[in-house]
Structure 1
Amino acid sequence: MGHGDAPVVLVRAADAGPTYLSWMWMDMPNVPHAIRLDSETLFAAVSLLDSALIAPLLLEDSSTGIESKESAATRALRSGAFATLEGERRLAALLAEAVLPEALRRQLGERFDAQGIIHVRITPSPRIARVPWELLFVDTYRRLLDIAVVTFDPPATVHAHRSVLPPHWDDVHHLPPLHIVDPLLPASAIDHGFRQTLAGLSKNALLDGISDEIAATGGIDVSAGVPRKFDRVALSEALKTGRSRMLYFGHVSARPDEPGSASIHLFDTAGGRTSDNAMWGMAAVVRPPMDSGEMVPIREGYHLPLCALDFLLGTQQCSDEKVWRRYGSKRRNYGHEIWPIPCRVALIACEGGVDFRSAETFGLVVALLDSGASLVTTTRWTLPTDNAFHRIGGVRRSVLPTVDLALSVDRAHNQANPVEAVAEWQRSRLREWESSSGELAYSPIVWASLTHTVADARPAEPIAK
């Protein structure tokens, strides 16, 4: 997914005690640069970023040990760094000092002045995976977003023995998209906090906006939504019909210390082998703990997430022929055979890009890239709901920041250069944020959350003789 003749700089980070950063300009491969980041400055910057987000923080003086979700959202939207322009600029400056070495900042400014927009390709380390690079200042007035397009590079292993090489967009753009918007979840999932992510007004606005975009681009025979009880089998059937792209707006859960655990949530439940409704999968079943701290035995009806390992391995570790037949097969299948992923995917609302926060980089993003995607757009952190903006932040009810984000990504993914299209929208949001002196409706807590992981098909290397 090229960006014309834009100069390209590769940025790589590694946590090895301290965090190390290296960079290299593609037109000067023999002049690499490397530096050890200052640990104290980095810790202060990342801590300030953490306190700006809605993820609950650990509490030192509390019997519960962690903030409630309500308290966390209130902190972020009323007093966090993204709640005011002054606070956000302070955060962006501190992050720039922490993760953008002075020499790199100078080079970026000089390159832009001489050659125009730059393409910055980053592979972050877990410690700096949530840094909103686009917001960082490269000099007193200009941010990286003003002079560059930023994408993430997946680990090089993604390109080794890749299960599916993604098609070129021109060859598939005529196919219908698939939109999975706030899918209904089993009651057992709701009991564990996986509630609907969109209120009625927001969901209707998102579905209407998607439908308008489809109509405007001449799409036919496509519904913006999916059946209410949409499970992994229905997802398989929908993807096997051929899709140009996919947007999922809903819950994503993951444990950064458990590679492969990142999951989306559909209407899937676990149960006994004799159950007609139970699904098979590799994720941990969502179930309550006993007084001893151990989990209760798995029962029919407990929610089963659809995880990265499922997308990668499919039913390779399942010996139940009944499960195989559900996907129209008489044998074990790999994930890409069950769920052929379109070349463009968007995961919106929760922290879908948790891959880069793990020491072993494997999550939904990498699994989707292996199964056919060349672009995965997702979020670095959990987003506030539009309802939270209204109820806690006092934003007008007609303003829907999170829905606006999803619609902007959806429109961009239907264009020739989706990354640049998103960047242009983000630049317009930045102008609104700054010209309004920090009106919360334009806060970067929403639009600066986006990341694009790009892994276009690479030509096969010739075998050495």
Structure 2
Amino acid sequence: MVNRPAVPDGSEVLTGLEADTRPVARLTYVDADELYLSWVWDHAPAHPRMVVLPRAHIAPGLDQLRAALPSPLPSETGLQALERALGGGDFTDPAREQRLATALTSCVIPQRLGLELNALEACGLRPHLRIQPSPSIAQLPWELLGTSGTDRLIDMVDVSTLLPASLRNGTGRAVSAWDPRGAVVTALDPAVPGFAATSELGSVLGPVEPGSPLAEMVAALGDRARPGGKSFRRNDFGRDRLAAELAGASRFLYVGHVTASTHALDSRMHLSDGAGTTGHAEPVNGHRPFTAADVVLGHGSAKPLRAPNRVALVACESGGDLRFAEPTGLVAAFTHRGAEYVTATRWTLPTEAGLRRYVPGLGDRAEGVLAEAILAVNAAHESTDPVAALSAWQRAQAHRWIETGDPRCTPLIWAAFHTAWSPPPPEVDLRWR
């Protein structure tokens, strides 16, 4: 009799898992001619898994995803991309979005991993998947992947972005301390010199009225909020002011513009800096952008920025680092300079004005959609576990979207956000090296 190895049924993931221990897996995707995936559970480090995902199988789904997103395709302007995605793309219709989610799931979740997740769910366990995507799948919204029926991956797991080990565990990286009572630096829709409020780098929030949810969010911070005084559309919040305000702070919340470039280090935040400010980017219309290189390397006589423990970048493609072969954009920059949690976006984030203009039948009901997302991100970064808190909001939004089809709950907003979690590097006992 020939003894054949047992076919994995997913239950092997339970081996070695101690009671009251949350399962955590690290998934790493690598681009080559095909897409390679390896994953390992923290409780079973000696038993990594690996599969090859044929490019011919995954390419159609990824093409369909790109066509559904509001990020410009080649030869497309930003406005054309918004009109395409918001005016009738797959993320504006629950049935078509469900089909896309199902197709994407088959692209990137192999059967064995799916069986392991099922086995954990059957035991009442909610694992944490730390995912390092390859450039070809960097914009994939893991939270909305389908499992069975209308259930989504976000119903089974919490997801965070895993940055490369060379960054997370880099020599000299020191994670800033977290103090739940610490200062919160806010740069909320800063005015960009040389750009009117209705222009390309103009206001993303529009007028924020006293007593509105966003105004109340800032008011609730009390004396923790920095800088004091005016909260929105400040014209004096540049890179030097940012560095000064971040000293000793616990959090940074940015709502504004981020633009991509030809390489990740040139990813740009747009603060209130004039052309006379020093920096690595060339001025644009009387304004010098603040780049990832400025964060990591400093600029002029300024030292590299010191990041707080938690950073939130609510802006278009602020988390686009992983689309580059060398992921050295703003998420990586703030992580390198001390952040443990960085929440950012995978694609162009529509403003309420864009939703109002392009989503059929939405009209004035678009008011508050972006504000709700900002409030959710802020609340997540106030919590003890930003990854779980953001996942809970995304899960609630997904259920509303599936049950009602309300365009206010389109995945184009809630599924854009992801959080990179990079805890302090493990200590190494040098005596044994």
Superposition TM-score, scaled by structure 1 size: 0.82
- State the one-letter code of the partner of 2:326: E
Counterpart check, 1:441 vs 2:405: no
Paired position in structure 2 for 1:373: 339
Provide the residue aligned with 1:460 in structure 2: 427
Secondary structure of the residue aligned to 1:422 is helix
1:406 partner letter: I
CA distance in 2, matches of 1:400, 1:248: 18
1:422 corresponding residue in structure 2:
390
Change (3 A) 1:370 1:105: same
Aligned to 1:44, what secondary structure does the other structure show? helix
Q: 1:179 to 1:126 in 2, by over 3 A?
A: same
User: What is the Cα deviation at residue 355 of structure 1?
Assistant: 1.0
Deviation at 1:9, TM superposition (A): 1.4
Q: CA deviation at 1:87?
A: 1.2
2:418 is matched with 451
Q: How many residues align?
A: 409
CA contact (8 A) 1:207 1:224 kept: no
For residue 164 of structure 1, report the CA deviation from its aligned partner.
4.5
1:289-308 alignment, distance < 5 Å: 302-308=286-292
Partner deviation per Cα, 1:38-59 (whole Å, 9 max, x = no partner): 212321111111111112223x
Distance 1:26 1:152 in 2: 16
What does 1:157-176 align with in structure 2 at a 5 Å threshold?
Answer: 157-169=166-178, 172-176=179-183
Deviations 1:301-321 (A, max 9, x none): x32111111111113xx4xxx
**1:150 corresponds to:** 159
Query: In structure 2, the residue corresponding to 1:24 is in which secondary structure?
Result: strand
Corresponding residue for residue 104 of structure 1: 113
| C-alpha deviation, 1:203, in angstroms | 10
Superimposed CA distance per residue, residues 378-399 of structure 1 (whole angstroms, 9 cap, x where no aligned partner)? 1111111111222222325254
Q: Is the 8 A contact 1:268 1:304 kept in 2?
A: yes
Give the aligned residue type for 2:32.
A
> Could you tell me how far apart the structure 1 residues matched to 2:209 and 2:174 are?
36
| Aligned match of 2:16 | none
CA apart distance, 1:211: 2.3
**Cα distance, 1:188 vs structure 2:** 5.8
Is this contact kept in 1: 2:33–2:55, CA < 8 A? Answer: no
Report the Cα distance in structure 1 between the residues aligned to 2:83 and 2:423, rounded to whole angstroms: 40
Query: Is contact 2:86-2:355 (8 Å) kept?
Result: yes
Name the CA shift for 1:206/1:360 in 2 (closer, same or farther; >3 Å): farther
> Partner of 1:62 in structure 2?
none
Shift of 1:8: 1.1
Note if 1:408 corresponds to 2:413.
no
Q: Is the 8 A contact 1:350 1:381 kept in 2?
A: yes
C-alpha separation between the residues in 2 aligned to 1:347 and 1:403? 14
User: Residue 19 of structure 1 aligns with which residue?
Assistant: 35
User: Superposed, which structure 2 residues align to 1:31-70 within 5 Å?
Assistant: 31-58=47-74, 66-70=75-79
CA distance in 1, matches of 2:199, 2:131: 35
Distance 1:349 1:364 in 2: 11
- 70-79 vs 374-383, which deviates more? 70-79
- Aligned equivalents of 2:243 and 2:225: distance in 1? 21
Indicate the RMSD between aligned Cα atoms, in angstroms.
2.3
1:238 Cα deviation from its structure 2 partner: 1.1
Tell me by how many angstroms 1:107 deviates. Answer: 1.2
From 249, 261, 286, the counterpart of 2:284:
286
Partner Cα separation in structure 2 for residue 141 and residue 267 of structure 1: 45
Which stretches in structure 2 are left out of the alignment for 5+ residues? 1-19
CA positional deviation for 1:418: 1.5
Which one of 121, 128, 136 corresponds to residue 127 of structure 1?
136
Contact 1:14–1:20 (Cα < 8 Å) also in 2? yes
Q: Is the 8 A contact 1:123 1:153 kept in 2?
A: yes
Structure 1 equivalent of residue 252 of structure 2: 246
In structure 2, C-alpha distance between the alignment counterparts of 1:414 and 1:265, rounded to whole Å: 25
- Conserved? CA contact 1:120–1:151, under 8 Å: yes
Q: Does 1:118 align with 2:127?
A: yes
One-letter identity of the residue aligned with 1:208: A
- Structure 1 residue 142 displacement after superposition: 2.5
Q: What do the CA deviations read for 1:70-109 (whole angstroms, capped 9, x no partner)? A: 3322221121110010111011001001111122112111
1:405-431 deviations in Å (ceiling 9; x for gaps): 011110111111121111111111111
2:237 aligns with 230
Separation of aligned partners in 2, 1:154 and 1:441: 31
Aligned-residue sequence identity (percent) comes to 32
Alignment of 1:337-352 (within 5 A): 339-352=305-318
Three-state SS of the structure 1 residue aligned to 2:266 is: coil
Structure 1 unpaired stretches of 5+: 59-65, 271-277, 288-301, 319-323, 328-332
* TM-score normalised by L of structure 2: 0.88
C-alpha change, 1:205 and 1:126, in structure 2 (3 Å) is: farther
